[in-house]
């Protein structure tokens, strides 16, 4: 039987910068060597979050705009950088056009175009028609509630809501990474009778290859004035909807004798606003350390952290949370349905109520961290293993 050709649209790169990018890398790794699926992946050639071929081992350049990774054909899509935030929409549209042209030219048997995120719903209709005329189908991952993000103004939120609605309308199958998102899609867009399936993101519980005394980890600690196991971390984009403001406020209220290490992208405007509001720089325990793209180093940091604080309130299953549940013993999660679904009884929960998170932080010395860690790893291995995720995708593709 000839392989099923699957075109993945929406990730900026393979393995770098975000959840979709990590998902694509893991999916390709799990399916490499198999003959049932042939992947074609669009990646961003330039601009913010673009593909950096030198950062991912195993990449084999093929042409000036294509490379091979784990047997997948990856195509570089250029975008005009001067358009700023609109790059994401233009990139997705150009990637979708590339997929259409490739399908029409090569006529693979029953191709699947899998669109990650719902950024281009108002423009999808004509491309979906082309794909179906060529015998293909369109699958959609709606991400989760982009229109809820606090950073967007009302007109932009209205666009994201429209885009989500049309993406669901035009899709042959909607793949949801969280059961609450699946329920929302079914109820909110019941008039379209959407066909949905739940497939979560995956979690890796494999220990870091680095030892506690590895120079890479030791030097990272020294560079930021940290002591091994005497720090608490949060990992994610430094944006309002991830509730870093609440985390900083509550950490300053706590009496915990550890450092709070924020591993995040830079957002000077947001940081300045928080400094004016809380004067957090006066608390020497709070440390911004930038991003960590070395997977083994980040895994070691997660393993040796005294706790992980997760403040994400928008979207479905968050990859950073899954990574932490598979590595960090104590996980303190913002109490929202998406996080409860993942953390279950293996995590502790806080609200935005003043004093809620601070009280949890103050109980850290008394917690049975080893027991929480065992429960967290067991949950990841039972419900979120990459092997399970890859098998589920193989079935739907």
- Per-residue pLDDT 10s for the chain (397 aa) are 688 999 999 999 998 667 788 899 999 999 987 678 999 999 999 988 889 888 888 999 999 999 999 999 999 999 999 888 788 899 999 999 999 999 999 888 889 999 999 899 999 999 999 999 999 999 999 876 555 566 667 788 889 899 999 999 999 999 999 898 999 999 999 999 999 999 999 988 999 999 999 999 999 999 999 999 999 999 988 888 899 999 999 999 999 999 999 998 888 899 999 999 999 999 999 999 998 878 899 999 999 999 999 999 876 788 889 999 999 999 999 999 989 999 999 999 999 999 999 999 999 999 999 999 999 999 999 899 999 999 999 999 9
Q: Does residue 220 sit in the same domain as residue 352?
A: yes
Range of the domain at 178: 4-198
Same domain, 283 and 370: yes
Asked if 163 and 220 sit in the same domain, the reply is no
Q: Between 268-278 and 244-253, two packed helices, what is the crossing angle to 10 degrees?
A: 30
Q: Are the CB atoms for 56 and 47 separated by under 8 Å? A: no
Instruction: Say if 396 falls within a structural domain.
Output: no
Instruction: List CB contacts of 385: < 8 A, sequence separation 6 or more.
Output: 202, 203, 205
pLDDT at 1: 64
Q: Helix crossing, 154-170 with 125-133: angle to 10°? A: 20
What pLDDT shows up at residue 56?
85
Query: Is residue 390, in this structure, part of any structural domain at all?
Result: no
Q: 370 and 318: one domain?
A: yes
Please classify residue 82 by burial: count the beta carbons closer than 10 Å to its beta carbon, then call 0-12 exposed, 13-18 middle and 19+ buried: exposed
Shared domain for 189 and 224, answered yes or no, is: no
**Cβ burial 187-210 (10 Å sphere, 16+ → b, else e):** eebeebebebebbbbbbbbeebeb
Identify whether 208 is part of a domain.
Answer: no
Return the pLDDT at 154: 76
* One domain for residues 287 and 239: yes
Instruction: Give the model's pLDDT for residue 69.
Output: 95
164 with 220, same domain: the answer is: no
C-alpha triplet 395, 12, 316: angle, nearest 5°? 55
Site of tokens 């947001």: 270
Q: Decide if 129 is inside a domain.
A: yes
CA distances from 365 to 246, 369, 372 (A): 22, 9, 13
Rounded distance between C-alpha atoms, residue 63 and residue 76, angstroms: 10
H-type alpha helices, the chain: 19-31, 87-106, 125-133, 154-170, 179-188, 215-223, 244-253, 268-278, 295-304, 319-325, 337-343, 356-362, 369-383, 386-396
- Domain end marker among 141, 170, 198: 198
Residue 204 maps to a domain: no
Q: Which residues make Cβ contacts (< 8 Å) with residue 319, sequence separation at least 6?
A: 18, 19, 22, 23, 201
| Main-chain dihedrals φ then ψ at residue 55, nearest 5 degrees | -95, -10
Q: Which of 106, 110, 90 is nearest to 9 (CA)?
A: 90
- According to DSSP, residue 332 is labeled E
Residue 210 resides in a domain: no
In a domain, 324, yes or no: yes
List own/partner pairs for 271-275 with CB under 8 A and 24 or more apart: 271/238, 274/244, 274/245, 274/248
Shared domain for 37 and 144, answered yes or no, is: yes
Q: Residues 185, 294: one domain?
A: no
Number of separate domains in the chain: 2
Quote the pLDDT of residue 17: 62
Closest CA to 241 of 104, 379, 143: 143
Residue 155 CB: number of other CB atoms within 10 A? 7
Q: Which of 108, 43, 116, 19 is nearest to 342 (CA)?
A: 19
CATH number at residue 378: 3.40.50.2000
pLDDT at 152: 62
Tokens standing for residue 61: 């350049």
Residues 225 and 193 in one domain: no
Clarify whether residues 143 and 222 are in a common domain: no
The answer on 305 and 169 residing in a single domain is no
Residue 393 lies in a domain: no
């Amino acid at each position: 039987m000839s392989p099923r050709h699957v075109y993945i649209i929406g990730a900026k790169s393979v393995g770098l910068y975000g959840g979709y990018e990590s998902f694509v890398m893991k999916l390709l790794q799990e399916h490499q060597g198999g003959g049932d699926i042939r992947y074609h992946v669009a990646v961003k050639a330039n601009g913010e979050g673009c593909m950096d071929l030198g950062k991912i081992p195993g990449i084999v350049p093929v042409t000036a705009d294509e490379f091979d990774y784990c047997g997948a054909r990856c195509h570089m899509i250029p975008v005009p950088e001067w358009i700023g935030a609109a790059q994401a929409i233009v990139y997705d549209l150009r990637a979708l056009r590339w997929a259409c042209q490739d399908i029409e030219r090569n006529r693979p048997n029953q191709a699947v175009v899998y669109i990650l995120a719902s950024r281009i719903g108002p423009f999808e209709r004509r491309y979906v028609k082309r794909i179906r005329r060529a015998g293909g189908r369109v699958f959609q991952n709606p991400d989760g509630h982009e229109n809820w993000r606090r950073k967007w103004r009302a007109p932009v939120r209205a666009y994201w809501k429209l885009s989500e609605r049309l993406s669901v309308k035009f899709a042959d199958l909607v793949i949801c990474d969280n059961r609450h998102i699946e329920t929302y899609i079914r109820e909110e867009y019941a008039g379209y009778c959407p066909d949905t399936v739940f497939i979560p993101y995956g979690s890796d519980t494999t220990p870091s290859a680095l030892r506690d005394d590895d120079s890479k980890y030791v030097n990272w600690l020294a560079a930021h004035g940290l002591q091994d196991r005497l720090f608490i971390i949060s990992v994610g984009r430094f944006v309002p909807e991830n509730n870093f403001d609440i985390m900083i406020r509550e950490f300053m209220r706590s009496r915990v004798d550890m450092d709070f290490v924020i591993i995040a992208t830079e957002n000077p405007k947001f940081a300045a606003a928080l400094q004016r509001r809380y004067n957090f720089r006066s608390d020497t325990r709070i440390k911004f350390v930038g991003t960590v793209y070395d997977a083994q180093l980040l895994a070691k940091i997660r393993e040796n952290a005294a706790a992980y604080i997760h403040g994400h309130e928008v979207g479905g299953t968050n990859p950073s949370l899954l990574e932490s549940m598979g590595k960090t013993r104590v996980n303190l999660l913002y109490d929202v349905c998406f996080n409860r679904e993942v953390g279950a009884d293996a995590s502790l929960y806080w609200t935005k109520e003043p004093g809620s998170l601070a009280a949890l932080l103050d109980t850290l010395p008394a917690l049975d961290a080893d027991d929480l860690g065992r429960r967290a790893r067991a949950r990841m291995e039972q419900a979120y293993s990459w092997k399970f995720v890859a098998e589920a995708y193989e079935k739907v593709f």
